[in-house]
Amino acid sequence: MKKIILLGASGSIGTQTLDVIGHHPDHYELIAFSVGKRIEAVHKILAKWPVKYVCVGSYEDQKLLEKQYPQVHFTSGDEGLLELVSLEEGDWVVNALVGFVGLRPTLCAIEHHKNIALANKETLVVGGRFVRESIEKYQVQLTPIDSEHSAIFQCLQGVRRSDVDRLIITASGGSFRDKKRDELANVTVKEALSHPNWQMGAKITIDSATLMNKGFEVIEAHYLFDMDYDHIDVLIHRESIIHSLIQTRDTALLAQMGTADMRLPIQYALSYPNRDELVNGEVCDLSAIHALHFEKVDVERFPLLKTAYDCGRKEGNACAVLNAANEVAVGAFLEGRIAFLDIEKLIMKALENIEYKSDASLEDIYKTDTYTRAYVNDLLKGGF
Ligand code: MG
């Protein structure tokens, strides 16, 4: 029986994690969860899982909820998340937070000897080196929930690490995969949010449209599987049936395929090395699909993918600048304050102007994040 602390319970991954937990009450017990602003989710989840610990975004909501549920211990904000992941009772943390806020709770959870099922990719993008060191030190498990990394993780089972030559991350290409570079100038938020293959949260859907998400996944793969950047490729595959591949030294390509059901990677991250039934899961009918297509990424059209490789190779605080600038820029785009191509413009400016530190400490990473956000917000105010 795994006792689970779920961070980000009301989002897309969080909701599907609850679905997995609900279908396997003999394997998993929810003992605590967090939500940000969606307080209605607290009522819904507590009705089904009467847990003792809940963290919410704001102190005001915490106070209101305490009156309604005197038997529950509520916390709030970043400190509340740290309290949650330190709970003695839990042994697994599912981190489904969005953005940089996910890093501190991950590190804190590891220090409290929790295993991590990780959906929060920014954790590894910004703090990959520190997360890896910490995992080594505390000897905990970290399993990936991101579908591409889950696919690679599944392909790696039974393969000697020294026999793996290459990781190949597939990409749907995002909402604008068929647009020319000059057509990207005037795309709207609504167009950007309509992903061709599936429904996800707003931030990650925009990151998919710019291919920033794929860039983050390259960095994530580097830290998860200890593979250098020259041996991680991105391949456009519009059907999203192959979730990623590995190439072995004898030229074999091993792929993990299936329908795009995020519950599989979530469940595998928790059940590994075992596999459980995926309740209501659908097998992908390959005879109905007929053909799978693959193409190279056009980095001229989507330069942020190359930028991510560059930042990943530079290490230091480069990825912290990249991530913070991206979070602020994507937020501004979603609010209709800037155009789509301004996202990359703001990121490039931040990377040019914020001081690069090759030997950045964890404290430097946190400082870089704060500083970069302020810098990009200033650019936004000044009309850059
Ligand atoms: Mg992914």
C-alpha 143 to ligand 1 mean position (Å): 14
What pLDDT is recorded for position 383? Answer: 86
C-alpha 166 to ligand 1 mean position (Å): 18
Identify the band that residue 198 occupies on the pLDDT scale cut at 50, 70 and 90. confident
C-alpha 88 to ligand 1 mean position (Å): 31
Distance CA 13, CA 200 (A): 9
pLDDT score of 14 more than 90: yes
C-alpha 212 to ligand 1 mean position (Å): 11
C-alpha 243 to ligand 1 mean position (Å): 9
C-beta of residue 264 within 8 angstroms of C-beta of residue 170: no
The CATH number of the domain covering residues in 315-384: 1.10.1740.10
pLDDT score of 67 more than 80: yes
The encoded tokens of residue 250 equal 């004898």
C-alpha 271 to ligand 1 mean position (Å): 19
C-alpha 224 to ligand 1 mean position (Å): 14
C-alpha 384 to ligand 1 mean position (Å): 31
List Cα–Cα distances, 44 to 51, 109, 225, in angstroms: 12, 26, 37
Reported as a single tens digit per residue, the pLDDT across 232-265 is 999 999 999 999 999 999 999 999 999 999 999 9
C-alpha 21 to ligand 1 mean position (Å): 21
What pLDDT is recorded for position 261? Answer: 95
pLDDT score of 189 more than 90: yes
Distance CA 201, CA 331 (A): 13
Domain ranges for the chain, please list them: 2-140, 315-384
C-beta of residue 94 within 8 angstroms of C-beta of residue 9: no
C-alpha 208 to ligand 1 mean position (Å): 9
C-beta of residue 93 within 8 angstroms of C-beta of residue 109: yes
Distance CA 235, CA 209 (A): 15
What pLDDT is recorded for position 76? Answer: 98
C-alpha 214 to ligand 1 mean position (Å): 7
β-strands 115-118, 28-34: how paired? unpaired
Share of the chain above pLDDT 90, in %: 97
pLDDT score of 191 more than 90: yes
Reported as a single tens digit per residue, the pLDDT across 294-340 is 999 999 999 999 999 999 999 999 999 999 999 999 999 999 999 99
C-alpha 148 to ligand 1 mean position (Å): 5
SS3 271: helix
C-alpha 114 to ligand 1 mean position (Å): 23
C-beta of residue 281 within 8 angstroms of C-beta of residue 314: no
Higher pLDDT, 108 or 383: 108
C-alpha 244 to ligand 1 mean position (Å): 10
Identify the band that residue 155 occupies on the pLDDT scale cut at 50, 70 and 90. very high
List Cα–Cα distances, 112 to 53, 115, 134, 307, 330, in angstroms: 17, 9, 11, 35, 33
Identify the band that residue 199 occupies on the pLDDT scale cut at 50, 70 and 90. confident
What pLDDT is recorded for position 201? Answer: 86
Which of the following CATH numbers is that of domain 2-140: 3.40.309.10, 3.40.50.720, 1.10.357.10, 3.30.420.40?
3.40.50.720
Q: How far is CA 27 from the centre of its chain?
A: 24
pTM above 0.85, yes or no: yes
Helices marked H in 195-298: 202-210, 212-225, 263-271, 286-289
List Cα–Cα distances, 153 to 167, 182, 224, 228, in angstroms: 10, 38, 9, 16
C-alpha 321 to ligand 1 mean position (Å): 21
C-alpha 67 to ligand 1 mean position (Å): 39
Report, as an integer, the average pLDDT of 205-229: 97
List Cα–Cα distances, 260 to 11, 95, 172, 243, 351, in angstroms: 17, 20, 11, 8, 34
β-strands 53-56, 115-118: how paired? unpaired
Could you give phi then psi for residue 94, rounded to 5 degrees? -95, 115
What pLDDT is recorded for position 200? Answer: 82
Give the chain's mean pLDDT. Answer: 96
Report, as an integer, the average pLDDT of 192-211: 88
Identify the band that residue 195 occupies on the pLDDT scale cut at 50, 70 and 90. confident
The residues near 322 (Cβ < 8 Å, ≥ 6 apart) are 125, 307, 308, 311, 347, 350, 351
C-alpha 213 to ligand 1 mean position (Å): 7
Distance CA 140, CA 185 (A): 45
pLDDT score of 105 more than 90: yes
Reported as a single tens digit per residue, the pLDDT across 262-279 is 999 999 999 999 999 999
Sheet holding 115-118, edge to edge: 73-76, 53-56, 28-34, 2-7, 92-95, 115-118, 142-144
Identify the band that residue 176 occupies on the pLDDT scale cut at 50, 70 and 90. very high
